[in-house]
């Protein structure tokens, strides 16, 4: 059954982040009361009413070393993301100012040309996803994010597609020379919230589970 844990998962320390019926454990970023998310047919659905600056929901809990798994699908020409290790503070208007993002987008149907670091599975603006097998728009994909003491992995449908180390000289150089050079707090937190992004198109999540490592 969706949005449940098996006895084995419970023994391994997994916890549900979404119960399939309510939005318990989630709220708008900075308590901005923009109603862009609903529970629908056992999924957490972004209504497509968000923008670059609105439409984010944030986990009540914070995580440091963890493994996250989630099933997701996106609408045609859709754009979304899972942002992690986010600092919630009025000094930061959006979650991406502090947290890296597992990008979700319609790779093939997006109307404008995309850079490789903008495609699904990438650490947005930083690291390109490789060797990925992405299911078509409208079908469920499985994403995983693993963070252990600054070592980060992105997985898609059972395959590791991104691997990087936070806070190294190489990472700092990439930040300072790229998209995040004007965001001094980007990626510095060692613990933070999870965030789901409604970026103006429908997106669905289910079977969201996490275990602390």
Alpha-carbon distance 163 to 180, whole Å?
19
pLDDT of residue 104: 98
Q: Is the dihedral of CA 110, 114, 144, 54 positive or negative?
A: negative
What is the reported pLDDT for 34?
66
Q: What is the pLDDT of residues 15-26, one digit of tens each?
A: 999 999 999 999
0.95 exceeded by pTM: yes
> What's the CA gap between 56 and 193, in Å, rounded?
12
Closest CA to 55 of 192, 200, 206: 200
From residue 21, alpha-carbon distances to 17, 42, 200 in Å are: 12, 6, 23
What domains are defined for the chain? Answer: 7-212 (2.60.120.560)
C-alpha 59/C-alpha 11 separation (Å) is: 23
Beta strands per DSSP E along 12-158: 15-16, 26-28, 37-40, 43-47, 56-63, 66-74, 79-86, 101-105, 141-148, 151-156
**Tens of pLDDT, residues 112-151:** 999 999 999 999 999 999 999 999 999 999 999 999 999 9
**76-122, pLDDT tens digit by residue?**
999 999 999 999 999 999 999 999 999 999 999 999 999 999 999 99
pLDDT surpassing 70 at residue 165:
yes
Which H or E element spans position 171? helix 169-177
**For residues 66 and 213, is the Cβ–Cβ distance under 8 A?**
yes
Phi, psi of 110 (to 5 degrees): -60, 130
User: Given pLDDT bands bounded at 50, 70 and 90, which one contains residue 33?
Assistant: confident
**Token pair of 181 as six digits:** 């050079």
For the chain, the farthest-separated pair of C-alpha atoms sits apart, in whole angstroms, at 47
pLDDT at 72: 98
């Amino acid at each position: 059954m969706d949005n449940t844990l098996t006895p084995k998962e419970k023994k391994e320390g997994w916890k549900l982040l979404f119960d399939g019926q309510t939005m318990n454990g989630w709220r708008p970023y900075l308590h901005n009361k923009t109603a862009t998310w609903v529970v629908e047919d056992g999924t957490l659905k972004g209504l497509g009413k968000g923008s670059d600056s609105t439409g984010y929901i944030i986990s009540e809990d914070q995580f440091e070393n963890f493994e996250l798994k989630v099933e997701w699908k996106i609408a045609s020409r859709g754009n979304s993301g899972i942002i992690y290790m986010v600092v919630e503070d009025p000094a930061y208007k959006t979650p991406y100012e502090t947290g890296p993002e597992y990008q979700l987008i319609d790779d093939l149907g997006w109307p404008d040309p995309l850079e490789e670091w903008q495609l699904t599975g990438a650490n947005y603006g930083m690291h390109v996803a490789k060797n990925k097998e992405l299911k078509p728009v409208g079908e469920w994909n499985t994403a995983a994010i693993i963070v252990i003491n600054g070592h980060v992995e992105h997985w898609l449908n059972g395959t590791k597609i991104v691997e990087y180390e936070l806070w190294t000289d190489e990472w700092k150089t990439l930040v300072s020379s790229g998209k995040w050079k004007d965001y001094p707090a980007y990626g510095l937190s060692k613990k933070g919230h999870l965030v789901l992004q409604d970026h103006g198109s429908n997106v669905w999540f289910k079977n969201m589970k996490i275990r602390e490592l």
